[in-house]
Structure 1
Amino acid sequence: PMYWISAPDSARSVDNLAPAAPLSLAGEQSFSPGGLQLTWDPNSEADLAGYNIYRGTDESFEPGPGNFLVSTPDTASFDGGWSWEAGYCYKVAAVDVHGNESGFAVLSPDMLTGDDPATLPDAAFLSQNWPNPFNPATTIKFGLKNRGHVSLRIFDAAGRLVAVLVDEDRPAGRYEASWNGSDARGARVASGVYFYRLAAGDFVQTRKMVLLR
């Protein structure tokens, strides 16, 4: 910890009281963009400046300059360098305006939420939408075995592009997208047969669905 030392004649007190450690530290896997979203409860100290975040490879790591990740005034932080395979542990400390640092909230890999490798799909897939037929909206589930660019597009019976639901890079995982029966301009499309196509690397699959107004 650092201490704020006042001169004897400054009429200021010495503040060497560190803030309380942050509470309710949690980590959730993010898919778009890929990484880990860290969150915690706000501290109540009036002289709070923010929070220091450290990242190591086991719970016993000692926070310091070599594993310092970022400082933030917020109660959330995003780590785009995270992955399940890395096995990162995180420690978060509150810091006041005098530089006093609290004890640490600790987050280990087994405390994270999201799709860990054991639940990732063995192969890319595209499920039948549900409900089908549908009105006004339907859900399409799909999965990716590997990280990469993925697109999910809707076409009408004549093969014309109607809407793009997904068009971005995503990590391996299970996903779902919703279509509300509108085109790219937001206009409602007519009842009829439509096709949705998933393209992810070498995997391309098309399925049929029916919209009933």
Structure 2
Amino acid sequence: QVTTFLDESAANDQTHTYTIQAVTAVGNSSNGNTTQAAPGTAKVPTAPTVGAPSPGDTVSLAPTLIVNNAVPVPGDTSRATLRYAFQLSSESDFATLTASITDVTSGDPGNPTHWQVADMGRPGVTILEDGTTYWWRARADDGDFSGDWSAGGTFVASTSQPTGITLAAFSAASVRGKVTIDWRMGGGQEGSGFHVLRSLTATGGFERISTEIITADEEGYTYLDRDVRSNVKYHYMLESVTTGERFGPLAVRVDPPGQFSLSQNAPNPFNPTTSIRYELPNTVQVTLKVYNLLGQEVRLLVNARQEAGFHTIIWNGRNVAGRSVSSGVYFYRIEAGEFTKAKRMLLLK
């Protein structure tokens, strides 16, 4: 059995000496070895700083609290991963907590460390009161020790601010080497812009992949993720620009092609560049060459063993010597395992 003792009265940057004394039931005692320790603020994670809301902001009854990450203890990789605790109170000294949470995953610039104040056991039920001022703070834990609390942030909760966006639909599907994400808001709600976040795990590491705010059309919202690989599972979340709420995650695996294929180049006709797309259902050696009307090889575009998936190569209209070729009809031909196919294309200058 391991017995531990936490000395919360030790002063920082001073050496303290400790001895463990064992005492029997009849009062006999003996001292163990002596050890020394010098606690210090540099030996625990730094305090995070308040990100949003800004002090005194008026927010919804379900605000998202954001902190700028703490700095872990330098030189100790075993303590480099931080998790966070948040506390919320209607009292500035936090004597009574309105809500709290621990073990919040550390965020990153695309998806900062955050906590949306909500009762997870009662979805849709708010725990804050209209017109009340609240104080909140956060601290980091590295698995061994917790750092100091951040300086307290404040906000006023108000029903005048939008809260509680609901989604009527949220889906993601793999379609020919891309992931299509579709969602609709529930009826009777004002429109909201969204960002899409993505991660390789469901538990954290989400990064924003949308570069612009996504707005709705008549059918709802759609985002097309082209930067994906076959046989990889991706996790997606939505983030409301209006309220900061996040929805998801939703997982989808990108399916590989069902068969070999070679698509028509695009654009066609072209000048000076064109894209050639091909699909591989499994890993094979691939060669893709461009020929002129005389059957002479003009350019070797691909000569490599490639994974299953959807591939695109660009031809810039130049030959193997790097010179621009003349206008005319050219052929491109692929060999992938036992699969071969050729198509024609037209360069017009």
Q: Per the shorter chain, which TM-score range?
A: 0.5 to 0.7
What is the Cα deviation at residue 143 of structure 1?
0.2
Instruction: Find out whether 1:13 has 2:11 as its counterpart.
Output: no
Aligned-residue sequence identity (percent) comes to 35
Instruction: Find out whether 1:209 has 2:345 as its counterpart.
Output: yes
Q: 1:159 aligns with which of 295, 299, 302?
A: 295
Written as runs of structure 1 = structure 2, the 5 A alignment for 1:93-172 is 107-108=200-201, 113-116=228-231, 119-172=255-308
The separation in 1 between residues aligned to 2:45 and 2:74, in whole angstroms, is 10
The separation in 2 between residues aligned to 1:198 and 1:176, in whole angstroms, is 12
The separation in 2 between residues aligned to 1:49 and 1:179, in whole angstroms, is 48
Instruction: Find out whether 1:180 has 2:316 as its counterpart.
Output: yes
Q: For 1:154-178, what per-residue CA distance to the aligned partner results, in whole angstroms no more than 9, with x for missing partners?
A: 1111122211222212111011111
Shift in CA distance, 16/124, structure 1 to aligned 2, threshold 3 Å: same
SS of match in other structure, 1:146: coil
- Larger gyration radius, structure 1 or structure 2: 2
Shift in CA distance, 16/147, structure 1 to aligned 2, threshold 3 Å: same
Amino acid at match of 1:189: V
Q: For 1:127-173, what per-residue CA distance to the aligned partner results, in whole angstroms no more than 9, with x for missing partners?
A: 11112111111111110010121121111111222112222121110
- Structure 1 runs (4+) deviating above 4 angstroms are 9-12, 46-52, 99-102, 109-113
The separation in 2 between residues aligned to 1:181 and 1:50, in whole angstroms, is 53
Q: Which has the higher contact order (CA 8 A, sep 6+)?
A: 1
Q: TM-score, normalised by structure 1?
A: 0.53
Residue pair 1:18, 1:100 contacting (<8 A) in 2 also: no
Instruction: Find out whether 1:199 has 2:335 as its counterpart.
Output: yes
SS of match in other structure, 1:119: coil
SS of match in other structure, 1:153: strand
Amino acid at match of 2:257: P
Amino acid at match of 1:185: A
Shift in CA distance, 183/108, structure 1 to aligned 2, threshold 3 Å: same
The separation in 2 between residues aligned to 1:175 and 1:139, in whole angstroms, is 10
Residue pair 2:42, 2:73 contacting (<8 A) in 1 also: no
Residue pair 2:333, 2:342 contacting (<8 A) in 1 also: yes
- For these two proteins, the number of residue pairs brought into alignment is 144
Q: 2:71 aligns with which of 26, 45, 62?
A: 45
Residue pair 2:289, 2:299 contacting (<8 A) in 1 also: yes
Shift in CA distance, 51/157, structure 1 to aligned 2, threshold 3 Å: farther
Shift in CA distance, 147/50, structure 1 to aligned 2, threshold 3 Å: farther
The separation in 1 between residues aligned to 2:324 and 2:292, in whole angstroms, is 13
Shift in CA distance, 45/211, structure 1 to aligned 2, threshold 3 Å: same
Segments of structure 2 that go 5 or more residues without pairing to the other structure are 1-12, 17-36, 48-67, 79-141, 147-198, 207-226, 232-252
Aligned twin of 1:84 = none
Shift in CA distance, 50/132, structure 1 to aligned 2, threshold 3 Å: farther
Amino acid at match of 1:114: R
What is the Cα deviation at residue 12 of structure 1?
8.1
The separation in 2 between residues aligned to 1:48 and 1:184, in whole angstroms, is 52
